Structure formats: C-alpha cells, structure tokens
C-alpha cells in the first residue's frame, strides 16, 4: 500500500456565505463543530486520508468564501477538481436558489473536460435548526432540482450535530474517484471511509 | 533544510593571501582559539576566526569567506579580514570582488563603533563603522564567535556599550561620545569599504582614507554636503535620529549590487514625499563634489552579475535584520508633548514617525487612532473635536434611523435589505468571539458591530456590506468603545480600503499585482520561482491584503500593526512591503521544499499566529527604503490604501446592479 502512489482527490465546496461549508469540512475531517469559525476569507483546504480497499487516497477538500464578490477568485482554486459539493441552508431560500449559479459558475471557471458528467453532490445543511421548524426548502423540492441536473446525489446534513456528514463525504469521495481517468484507478463497488459501516439516509449516492 | 556548506579549509589557498599580507607565521589553529604567534614586526594574533563571510549581494550563494583576525602590535590593535582564494564552489565571486572587499589591517583607533546582530534565524554578524563614517560590509560569522571577538577587543581597547542600543559598541569613546559620532556617523558616503590589492603589510597606515573616493561609487552622482552637520548636531542631543544614522550607514554597508541604483536615489531625488526622516536628512545634504568620473570608471571594473542563484537551498540564510529597532509604545505623558495648549498636534510628521517606530499604548489608542485614520485633523483643537463629535453623532443617528425604521412588513418586500442584514448577522457572530470584548451570548458589542456595519451599508449603499468588513471594524470598536466614533473612523478607513471589496476586485488585483512587481524587484529568484510554479496570481496573499493581516496576528499585534501602517510613514503602501518581507522570511522554506500553489497557500494560511511582527515591520521598512522609487513604480496609481481620485464615481455604475 505504501509503495503505491497515493492519489489526490480534489473536492471543492461551494455555496452561499454562512450555509456551513467550513463547519461541514471541519466536522468531516476533525469531527468537531465550533461556533467560533470565522467567515472564510480567500480559500483554504483540509486533507483527509480515505481508505479504499487496499488503497489510500488523499481527499483534498477546498473551502472557499461564500460571498459572491469573491467568486472571481474561484478560477485559481477550482482547476483540477474531481468533485464539486454544493451546499445550501435548508432554512434560507436564497441559498437554495443560488445553487444553480454556483453550479454554472463552477463549470465555467473549472472548465472540466466533460461538464455534462462532472460529479456534483448537493448538501442541504442545518437541518437541526429549530427542530426543523424554520425550514423553508423541502426535501422534495431539493431532490427535484438534483434530479433535473442529472441526478445529483443529495444529502441532508447537520454540521453541528455531525448528522449524515460522513455518509455525504463518502459519496463525495466515491464520486471524485469516479472522475479520475480510467487507467489510474480500479473501482470496486464499495468504498469504506474511516472503516465504519455505512448506512445511507436521504437519496443517497446513486453511484 | 540543508546546512550551509562549510569550506574545508585545508584545501584553501588562502595561505598565499596571508603570506602576501605579511602574516606568514599565522598558525592554522582551530577557529576562534586565541593563538599567539609572533610575527616579524612583533605583531601578535590575539583573535582569529575562520569562515567569516561577506555577502556582496543579498544572496547567500554569492559570498566571500575569509579569515578575521585581531592583531596586536605594540600598544595598537588592528583588525583584518582576508578572503580565501580559490573558492571553486563559488564561481560567482570574482577575484576582483575578493580584492575589493579585503580588509587590510585597520587600527582600532580608526574604528568608531561595532554593531552586533544576532538574528534568531541566520548567522550572527557585525558591522564595523569607522571614525570616518565609512562602514565595512557586514561580516557574517558562519562559525559563531562574535562575543569572543568583542571580548578580545575589550581586553585591548576601550570599548563601551551604547546607551541607546545594547548591541552597539562604541570604540575609543573617551571624550565626547555624541559630538564625535555624529559628524562621522551621519555621512552616508560609502556603501562598503574595500582596498586595493596590497602588496605589503603596512600596519599603522590608515588604509581606508585613500580609498574613500573610489569606494563611494554608489552615490557617485549625488551631491553631498557635510558642512551642515555641526548646526544640526545641536538639535540632536537625544534624537533617536542619531541611531537612525547608524542604521542608515549600516543599510548602506549592506547595499548590494542589486539595490545599488535604487538606494542611491534615496539621496538624490529626496524631494518627493514619503521618506520622512531619512528624506529630511538627505535634503540637507547637498552639493559636495564627488569624483564621479573616477568612481564610475572604477565601478566598471566590477562585472555585473546575475542574481540567479545556483542552489535554491542556499537562499537567504541571512535575514534582513536591518530596519530600525522598535521602540516602546507612545504613552500619555509623551503624547501631551505633541499637543499645544489647545490640543493641536504641532508636528504631525514627528507623531507619525513616533507611532511608526513604537506604536501606541492601548489606553491611548482611543486618542490617537482618530488622527491616524484621518477622522480628526491634526491641527484641530480640543474644542473643535468635541464639536465634531457631537455633529457626527447626530449624523450617524440619522443614517442609522434609515434602516431602523424599516418595519418587518417592509423588510419582507425588501430583499436586498434582508440579504445584506443576513450577511452581517452571520458575520458579526463569527468575528473575534474568542475575545472577552465580543464573547458570550447577546454580547452588546456584537450588536454594536452589527448596527455599525448595517449603518455603513446605508451610508455607502453602493459598496454595501462585504465579508472582511467586520474584521476591519472589530478592532476599531474595541479601541474606541463608542458607536458613532467607531462608525466614522471605519468610514475613514473604508475610504482607503473600500476598493478591496469592489465587486470587480480591482483594489485587490492592483495590490496583488504590486506585490508581484515588488517581489520581482526585491527578490528576483523568488519571483522566478513563483513564475515557474505558476503562482504569480499571488492569491495566497489575498487574506493578508484584504483585511490588513487581521487574521495573521493575535489581536493585540494586529492593533499594533495597523497603527504602524496607518502612519503611512515610510510609505502609504508599507503593507505591500510587509507582504514581501514575510515572503522573504520564508523564501528558503518555500523554495527549498518546492512548494506548489496548493502547498504554498496552505503554508501561508498556517503561518497565522507565527509571524514575528517586529521583525517583519523592520524588514518591510528596510525593503521599502531599499526599493525607493523603483518600488513606487511597482505600485499602480490609486492602489489602496491611496485615497481615490476626487472625480468620478467611487463604484462604477455598471457594477452597482450586481452589488448587494
Ligand atoms: N445550527 C447549525 N448551525 C450551523 C450548522 N453549520 C454551520 N452552522 C453555523 O452557521 C454559521 C456559518 O457557518 P460556516 O461554516 O462558517 O459557514 P460557511 O459556509 O463556511 O460561510 P462562509 O465562510 O462565509 O462562506 C456559523 O455560525 C455556524 O456555527 C449546522 O449544521 N447547524
Ligand atoms: Mg467558511
């Protein structure tokens, strides 16, 4: 295992400011949630080792600033992405409406070779807030949009409670892997992230 | 990281050199050991150190190593440094250079002072300033031994520590320390002192003066008059400028070929704004005839060299510790000396300079920041400021009312307002919450942040709110502790930094562009590295620039840095030099570890909290002065924090539609 070249999978997290991108990334990589994350300025990334049968992959997760005004920076960071995660806040309609913009902006700036089949994953975050009572985007509506964009896998998450975050990232990793050139990888039908059993909630990963 | 290679001296042909110099009997003893070998003239070597090195340029790869000795003859002590010959490993250094930099025996009576530098990173070095005002280039002690060097001198000549700076040792200072030093130290005549290839060992013969003219080549076209010194000395009994003069000299002794032209401009075109004390000093230096013809002829002998180093790992082991040392922060008592009886600041330039070098004590910031930010005029009186405060408070309340009067009903139909408020809501609870000033639930100061930002987004509706603004406001509110005053100071700051937040990011782009140019100017190997690695967009500096290093330092350090930057003292754009200084500090790591864009970004993000503020400000000052006009030329007009031109819309109309 160690002798093999470790493959880097690059994942970009996009979405409006404050939807919880930084929180999700930290929950997944460091298994913690803090109320004190600062608004992201510029960009940063965390990496996590992902085991996959007998192979190790490095998931490089890029967290960027959500404010529209900084979007022009994206081009520097999006290039070479293997998967793009679109996040919205289920309690904020605008953040859902903007998913389309984020998706298009990403495709323009990253200009992947096969935009039609480029893997996206959508996360509806903050489902814990107010016991779900302040929710304004229904699961149904979100799934419908995902279906219309080529069956994008969809997850509902809470970065705060750590709910569904691992599952979502397993799917993300798997999709990122799928995006790699054929000869580089060998694709088994299960992926085991952090060794845990995996139970999928929501639509789950169609791959 | 790789250690600098040490030269195996057994292969060096330096014997030839030393023999030529008449020190044939010098024993090849272990470095640093006091060897007492008698010479033909009854001279005795009392100190010897190998691998003492001069860096003709700032590149560590370009260096001349040699042997430093103290020789005692009769009651006199001489210092000499002779480079090794035949250092094949260093083809960049020509024999001419070796000869040029050779220090033939100089009697200690000719030495004015010795400054010791012991940077945390890099080698220790000393700078020897002669009574004539000339300074030798820094001598780097690759194998240590500075302390021993000074101790040895102390055994033989009278040497005292300078009262102003514990690292400066004044030699032979029997009578009038100040008088004597001033006239000598202030002559920025020579950048380095070398000597002709000498054929005989001539102890006792001042070997420097005869070479002064030819060594002054770097300022060959400058006209310098030293006759006015006496007059100025009077004002300077306790002027820190005295120390500055040492600094200036040292800088000049450090000036490298690459910076030759830019630095000489310091003393030439000194009428442009922005150089403060150094400028004023040089203004009074006018018209002395320099034998420029001779000098330039001589200079031609030194071949120009490309600064591209062969081995990236050898880069920059030396640090740029040659700005002025930091002072203690400005306190209340001293503050009042800047004010006249009605509260006007009599010499704003002196104040700015004072703040630049020392910052301001926390409890005094409330008074000083409004001036630095331009909210108060320096020549306003106490009464005028009180009046302004009242007027501005009313004006603030008026703008604040504008959003306060929006009912929930109205807000429902006012998407832009809701979105803007939503952004601010989200950001204020993510701003400096670990500070007790902003921590806890329902903290009233967090609400103040919110109200000020929302008010600002109405005050300047075109610019609106953008992430990063809360980071800029937080320290201001923390310091001023007053809603309206904080608002107006923030307004002032945004007059300068607003373009950072423009939708088209033009302010950011011009700053990142300027950094690119400055690095190209001040560190071309690093620039080449970034070019190779496709890192020229400098996005890894984005956060530094957008919020003025707010996330890179602990809170109190940020306050210090900001007040220093706001003095605009050596330059309005000092923050860009701070960027360059930080990059230069870590250049050997960046290049040595062959960082790519991703790694570099990560590395820089993780520098947060680990950057030595004082050192970086000192370096930035030195770089800024060194870059001179060429540095200015790297910075496009209107680059923040320059005030925008009066005419025209601040935020071009076509962008407004997209702005929140
Ligand atoms: N209740 C709850 N709050 C969350 C959750 N995820 C994030 N938050 C909070 O939402 C706010 C924004 O979270 P961040 O993770 O900083 O948001 P972001 O998307 O990274 O925002 P930008 O960096 O501005 O683009 C913070 O105050 C978080 O504490 C969640 O799942 N549940
Ligand atoms: Mg974030």
- The tokens for A6 are 């470790």
- The tokens for B261 are 């032209």
Q: Residue B468 and residue A68: Cβ atoms within 8 Å?
A: no
Give the Cβ contact number of residue A129 at 10 Å.
Answer: 16
Q: Is the pLDDT of residue B232 over 90?
A: no
pLDDT in tens, B15-49: 334 334 433 333 333 444 444 444 456 788 999 99
Specify the 3-state DSSP secondary structure of B537: coil
pLDDT score for B504: 81
**Mutation pick for ligand 1 pocket among A12, A16, A17, A20 (CB with most ligand atoms within 8 Å):** A20
A200 domain residue, yes or no: no
pLDDT score for B132: 64
Nearest chain A Cα distance for residue B503, angstroms: 5
Nearest chain A Cα distance for residue B398, angstroms: 29
A38 domain residue, yes or no: yes
For residues B231, B237, B241 and B242, what is the CA-based torsion angle, rounded to 10 degrees?
Answer: 90
Say how far apart CA A120 and CA A139 lie, in whole Å. 17
Say how far apart CA B117 and CA B130 lie, in whole Å. 17
The pTM score is 0.65
Q: Is the pLDDT of residue B233 over 80?
A: no
Going by pLDDT thresholds of 50, 70 and 90, the confidence category of residue B622 is confident
Domain boundaries of chain B, sorted by first residue: 13-226, 275-327+504-632, 381-501
Extract the runs of DSSP E, i.e. beta strands, from A74-182: 83-89, 120-125, 154-156
A21 close to ligand 1 (CB < 6 Angstrom): yes
Mention every residue, 6+ apart, whose C-beta is less than 8 A from residue B509.
none
Say how far apart CA B258 and CA B316 lie, in whole Å. 14
Specify the 3-state DSSP secondary structure of B429: coil
pLDDT score for A192: 47
Query: CA–CA distance from B58 to each of B314, B440, B584 (Å)?
Result: 11, 50, 11
pLDDT score for B323: 55
Q: Which residue of A has its CA nearest to B659?
A: A69
Going by pLDDT thresholds of 50, 70 and 90, the confidence category of residue A89 is very high
pLDDT score for B160: 82
A201 domain residue, yes or no: no
Say how far apart CA A161 and CA B531 lie, in whole Å. 44
From the CA of A25, the nearest ligand is 1
**Mutation pick for ligand 1 pocket among B426, B441, B465, B543 (CB with most ligand atoms within 8 Å):** B426
Nearest chain A Cα distance for residue B567, angstroms: 26
Beta bridge pairs of residue A44: A63
Mention every residue, 6+ apart, whose C-beta is less than 8 A from residue A80.
A10, A110
Which chain A residues touch B433 with a CB distance below 8 Å? 35-36
Atom of ligand 1 nearest to the CA of A65: 25
- The tokens for B287 are 């018209």
Q: Is the pLDDT of residue B526 over 90?
A: yes
Atom of ligand 1 nearest to the CA of A16: 25
Nearest neighbour of B505 by CB, restricted to A37, A66, A72: A72
Q: Which CATH class is domain B381-501?
A: mainly alpha
DSSP sequence for A172-188: HHHHHHHTS-GGG----
CA nearest to A93, candidates A122, A135, A129 = A135
The domain that holds A75 is classified in CATH as 3.40.50.300
- The tokens for B353 are 């300079």
Least confident of B40-44, B177-181, B374-378, B462-466: B177-181
Say how far apart CA B614 and CA B619 lie, in whole Å. 9
Per residue in B491-510, is it b (16+ CB within 10 Å) or e — as a string?
bbbbbbbbbbbbbebbbbbb
Residue A106 structural domain: 2-188
Nearest neighbour of A41 by CB, restricted to B419, B505, B551: B551
Which chain B residues touch A43 with a CB distance below 8 Å? 539, 542, 601
Going by pLDDT thresholds of 50, 70 and 90, the confidence category of residue A178 is confident
Number of H helices, E strands in chain B: 28, 9
Specify the 3-state DSSP secondary structure of B438: coil
Mention every residue, 6+ apart, whose C-beta is less than 8 A from residue B566.
B369, B372, B373
Say how far apart CA A16 and CA A96 lie, in whole Å. 9
The answer to whether B136 and B127 have CB atoms below 8 angstroms apart is yes
**Strands A120-125, A154-156: parallel, antiparallel or unpaired by DSSP?**
parallel
Query: CA–CA distance from B408 to each of A155, B404, B480, B660 (Å)?
Result: 33, 10, 32, 19
A93 domain residue, yes or no: yes
Atom of ligand 1 nearest to the CA of A67: 25
Specify the 3-state DSSP secondary structure of B135: strand
Say how far apart CA B220 and CA B505 lie, in whole Å. 43
Q: Which residue of A has its CA nearest to B418?
A: A94
pLDDT in tens, B476-507: 999 999 999 999 999 999 999 999 998 888 89
From the CA of A18, how far away is ligand 1's center (Å)? 5
Q: Residue B431 and residue A38: Cβ atoms within 8 Å?
A: yes
- The tokens for B358 are 């020392």
Specify the 3-state DSSP secondary structure of B241: helix
Domain count, chain A: 1
From the CA of A14, how far away is ligand 1's center (Å)? 13
Say how far apart CA A131 and CA A128 lie, in whole Å. 5
Query: CA–CA distance from B423 to each of A19, B399, B414, B467, B660 (Å)?
Result: 11, 19, 15, 8, 10
Going by pLDDT thresholds of 50, 70 and 90, the confidence category of residue B104 is confident
Q: Residue A92 and residue B431: Cβ atoms within 8 Å?
A: no
- The tokens for B529 are 């590295």
A20 close to ligand 1 (CB < 6 Angstrom): yes
User: Which residues of B, range 402-461, sit inside 8 Å of A by Cβ?
Assistant: 419, 422-423, 426-427, 429-431, 433-434
Looking at per-residue pLDDT, the higher value among B614 and B182 belongs to B614
Q: Which helix (H) or strand (E) holds A60?
A: strand A55-64
CA nearest to B284, candidates B300, B298, B296, B267 = B267
Architecture of the B275-327+504-632 domain: Orthogonal Bundle (1.10)
A40 close to ligand 1 (CB < 6 Angstrom): yes
Q: Is the pLDDT of residue B325 over 90?
A: no
Which chain A residues touch B605 with a CB distance below 8 Å? 42, 44
The answer to whether B245 and B182 have CB atoms below 8 angstroms apart is yes
Quickly list H helices, B359-443.
Answer: 362-372, 382-404, 408-412, 415-428
In chain A, pLDDT over 90 holds for what percent of residues? 63
Which chain B residues touch A17 with a CB distance below 8 Å? 423, 426-427, 467
B602 contact A CB<8A: yes
Give the Cβ contact number of residue A87 at 10 Å.
Answer: 28
Instruction: Determine whether domain B13-226 maps to CATH 2.30.29.230.
Output: yes
């Amino acid at each position: 295992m160690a002798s093999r070249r470790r493959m880097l999978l690059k994942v970009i997290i996009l979405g409006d400011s404050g939807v919880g991108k930084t929180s999700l990334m930290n929950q997944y990589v460091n298994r913690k949630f803090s109320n004190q994350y600062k608004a992201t300025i510029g960009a940063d990334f965390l990496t996590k080792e992902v085991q996959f049968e007998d192979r190790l992959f490095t998931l490089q997760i890029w967290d960027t600033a959500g404010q529209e005004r900084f979007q022009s920076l994206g081009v520097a960071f999006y290039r070479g992405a293997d998967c793009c995660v679109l996040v919205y806040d289920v309690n904020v309609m605008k953040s859902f409406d903007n998913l389309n913009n984020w998706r298009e902006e990403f495709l323009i700036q990253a200009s992947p070779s096969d935009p039609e089949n480029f893997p996206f994953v959508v996360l509806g975050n903050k489902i814990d807030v107010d016991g779900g009572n302040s929710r304004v985007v229904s699961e149904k509506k979100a799934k419908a949009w995902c279906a219309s964009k080529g069956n994008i896998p969809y997850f509902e998450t809470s970065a705060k409670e750590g709910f569904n975050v691992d599952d979502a990232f397993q799917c993300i990793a798997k999709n990122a892997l799928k995006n790699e050139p054929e000869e580089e990888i060998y694709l088994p039908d299960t992926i085991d992230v952090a060794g845990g059993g995996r139970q999928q909630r929501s639509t789950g990963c169609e791959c | 990281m790789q250690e600098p290679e040490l030269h195996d001296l057994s292969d060096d042909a330096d014997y030839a050199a030393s023999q030529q110099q008449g020190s044939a009997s010098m024993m090849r003893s272990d470095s640093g050991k006091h060897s007492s070998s008698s010479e033909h003239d009854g001279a005795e070597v009392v100190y010897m150190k190998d691998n003492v090195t001069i860096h003709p340029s700032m590149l560590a790869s370009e260096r001349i190593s040699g042997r430093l000795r103290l020789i005692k003859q009769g009651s006199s002590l001489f210092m000499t440094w002779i480079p090794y010959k035949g250092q094949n490993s260093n083809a960049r250094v020509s024999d001419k250079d070796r000869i040029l930099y050779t220090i033939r025996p100089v009697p200690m009576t000719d030495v004015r002072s010795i400054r010791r530098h012991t940077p945390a990173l890099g080698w220790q070095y000393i700078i020897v300033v002669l009574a004539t005002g000339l300074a030798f280039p820094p001598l780097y002690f690759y194998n240590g031994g500075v302390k021993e060097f000074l101790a040895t001198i102390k055994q033989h000549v009278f040497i005292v520590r300078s009262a102003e700076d514990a690292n400066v040792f004044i030699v032979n200072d029997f009578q009038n320390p100040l008088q004597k030093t001033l006239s000598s130290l202030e002559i920025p005549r020579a950048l380095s002192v070398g000597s002709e290839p000498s054929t005989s060992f001539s102890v006792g013969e001042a070997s420097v003066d005869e070479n002064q003219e030819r060594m002054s080549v770097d300022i060959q076209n400058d006209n310098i008059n030293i006759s006015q010194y006496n007059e100025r000395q009077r004002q300077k009994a306790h002027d820190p400028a005295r120390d500055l003069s040492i600094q200036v000299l040292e800088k000049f002794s450090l000036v490298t070929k690459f910076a030759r032209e830019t630095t000489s401009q310091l003393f030439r075109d000194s009428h442009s704004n922005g150089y403060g004390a150094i400028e004023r000093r040089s203004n009074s230096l006018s018209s002395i005839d320099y034998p420029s013809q001779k000098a330039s002829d001589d200079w031609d002998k030194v071949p120009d060299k490309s600064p591209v180093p062969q081995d990236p790992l050898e880069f920059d082991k030396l640090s740029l510790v040659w700005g002025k040392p930091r002072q203690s922060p400005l306190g209340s008592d001293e503050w009042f000396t800047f004010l006249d009886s009605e509260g006007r600041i009599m010499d704003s330039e002196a104040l700015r300079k004072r703040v630049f070098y020392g910052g301001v004590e926390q409890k005094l910031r409330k008074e000083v920041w409004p001036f630095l930010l331009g909210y108060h005029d320096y020549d306003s009186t106490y009464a005028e400021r009180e009046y302004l405060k009242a007027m501005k408070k009313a004006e603030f309340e008026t703008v604040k009312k504008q959003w306060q009067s929006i009912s929930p009903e109205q807000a429902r139909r006012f998407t832009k307002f809701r979105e803007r408020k939503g952004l601010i809501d989200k950001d204020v609870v993510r701003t400096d919450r670990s500070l007790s000033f902003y921590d806890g639930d329902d903290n009233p100061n967090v609400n103040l942040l919110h109200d000020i930002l929302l008010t600002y987004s109405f005050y300047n509706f075109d610019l609106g709110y953008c992430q990063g603004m809360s980071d800029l406001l937080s320290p201001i509110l923390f310091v001023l502790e007053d809603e309206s005053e904080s608002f107006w100071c923030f307004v002032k700051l945004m007059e300068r930094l607003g373009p950072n937040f423009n939708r088209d990011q033009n302010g950011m782009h011009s700053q990142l562009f300027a950094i690119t140019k400055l690095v190209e100017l001040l560190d071309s190997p690093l620039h080449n590295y970034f070019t190779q690695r496709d890192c020229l967009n400098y996005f890894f500096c984005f956060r530094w620039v957008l919020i003025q290093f707010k996330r890179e330092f602990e809170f109190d350090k940020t306050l210090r840095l900001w007040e220093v930057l706001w003095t605009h003292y050596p330059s309005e754009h000092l923050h860009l030099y701070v960027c360059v200084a930080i990059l230069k500090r870590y250049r050997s790591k960046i290049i040595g570890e062959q960082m790519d864009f991703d790694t570099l970004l990560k590395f820089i993000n993780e520098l947060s909290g680990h950057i030595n503020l004082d050192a970086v400000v000192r370096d930035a000052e030195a770089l800024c002065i060194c870059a001179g006009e060429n540095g200015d030329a790297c910075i496009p007009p209107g680059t923040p924090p320059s005030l925008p031109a009066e005419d025209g819309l601040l935020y071009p109309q076509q962008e407004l539609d997209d702005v929140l």
